[in-house]
Amino acid sequence: MYAIEGKRIFVAGHRGMVGSALLRRLASEDCEVLTAGRGTVDLRDQAQTRDWMLREKPDAIIIAAAKVGGILANDTWPADFLYDNLMIEANLIKASFEAGVGKVVFLGSSCIYPKMAPQPMREDALLTGPLEPTNEWYAIAKIAGIKLCQAFRRQHGCDYISAMPTNLYGPEDNFDLQSSHVLPALMRKAHEARKSSEPLVVWGTGTVRREFLHVDDCADAIVFLLRHYSAEEHVNVGCGADVSIAEVATLVAEIVGHKAGLVFDATKPDGTPRKLMDTAKLTALGWQPRIPLQDGLASTYSWFRENVAGG
Ligand code: GFB
């Protein structure tokens, strides 16, 4: 439906895990990729964002720029997660309209759904119940982004769409133990403890379940939706299977070679009990993930060793 050949595509947030995966994915396409580092334009600043967009006039934009983090970061910095994300998306979506951008893909998160949404979570579960308290600030910003795309589509006929990825992992992830998501944290902790008899410390009870998708699969799905999807409702992006945190911690420990077992830190929050996406809509459009969890974790661990841990 939307030909990207010969187009100028702005990847907002190209230094992040998703943005850098989009650059890798788009490198094989016949399109020009535009990027803007933080030193060039602060996307939280309306005038800077508008000026840059009016000057560059991209044909399409993928909004991968966001303030992101794991459960503790979300819980600790609610103002940043709400304000920064509202500003980034509002500035980019309005500036896209003003600059005549032909297609916008806005990226959200599976935490937009109610804490107790029926599993697997369908797109129409949005706004049917209360959110998970640890990440409601981020979720509300992302829900506002979906609604802003829908509003511009309704009022002005803009081809703005939204994709909701599940929990992602892969190269360029944040491995900082306080602000990261679960997989990079477990990988780092297992790596650092692998030669000792120290158990791997897992936050929460380990019983909650998450669906993990490799970021290269996610980038592929986003480019697929950029090309093939144009409608008001957002689309879930996931792999359709979940694991418990204890199971995935065991898998990480095996991959890393950590053998001293797991211990659970109940002082840390569990968050949502389960977050499994219903991916029927994306599957019906013709997209499938390719990277099994075990392979994706093994290659991410190699990336971590080479790029973060120093061997
Ligand atoms: O990945 P994570 O931080 O985020 O945590 P959420 C997932 C689960 O893993 C929680 C547990 O139950 C954590 O308690 N966990 C175990 C750990 N060990 C660790 C650890 O060492 N570090 C971390 N971070 N978790 C985020 C949202 O929720 O997911 C965001 O806060 C966003 O808004 C993102 O939606 C995708 O899956 O709970």
pLDDT at 311 > cutoff 90: no
Structure tokens at 41: 């334009």
How many A from CA of 142 to the centre of ligand 1?
A: 17
Tens of pLDDT, residue by residue over 154-205, are 999 999 999 999 999 999 999 999 999 999 999 999 999 999 999 999 999 9
Higher pLDDT: 311 or 122? It is 122
For the segment 32-57, the average pLDDT, to the nearest whole number, is: 97
Tens of pLDDT, residue by residue over 195-250, are 999 999 999 999 999 999 999 999 999 999 999 999 999 999 999 999 999 999 99
Tens of pLDDT, residue by residue over 63-92, are 999 999 999 999 999 999 999 999 999 999
SS (H, E, C) the chain: CCCCCCCEEEEECCCCHHHHHHHHHHCCCCCEEECCCCCCCCCCCHHHHHHHHHHHCCCEEEECCCCCCCHHHHHHCHHHHHHHHHHHHHHHHHHHHHCCCCEEEEECCHHHCCCCCCCCECHHHCCCCCCCHHHHHHHHHHHHHHHHHHHHHHHHCCEEEEEEECEEECCCCCCCCCCCCHHHHHHHHHHHHCCCCCCEEEECCCCCEECEEEHHHHHHHHHHHHHHCCCCCCEEECCCCCEEHHHHHHHHHHHHCCCCCEEEECCCCCCCCEECECCHHHHHHCCCCCCCHHHHHHHHHHHHHHHHHCC
Q: Indicate the burial class of 177 (C-beta count within 10 angstroms; 0-12, 13-18, 19 or more).
A: middle
Atom of ligand 1 nearest to the CA of 202: 18
**CB-based burial, 226-245: b 16+ in 10 Å, e otherwise:** beebeeeebbbbbbbbbbeb
Which percentage of the chain shows pLDDT scores above 90?
99
Task: Name the band, by pLDDT with cuts 50, 70 and 90, for residue 133.
Answer: very high
In short, whether 270's Cβ falls inside 6 Å of ligand 1 is yes
Clarify whether 138 is annotated catalytic: yes
For the segment 111-133, the average pLDDT, to the nearest whole number, is: 98
Tens of pLDDT, residue by residue over 258-276, are 999 999 999 999 999 999 9
In short, whether 247's Cβ falls inside 6 Å of ligand 1 is no
Nearest to 168 by CA among 179, 182, 178: 182
Closest CA to ligand 1's atom 6: 71
C-alpha span between 71 and 60 (Å, rounded): 32
Atom of ligand 1 nearest to the CA of 275: 37
Nearest to 255 by CA among 169, 306, 177, 188: 188
Question: Residue 272: its pLDDT value, please?
Answer: 97
Mean pLDDT of the chain: 98
pLDDT at 288 > cutoff 80: yes
In short, whether 150's Cβ falls inside 6 Å of ligand 1 is no
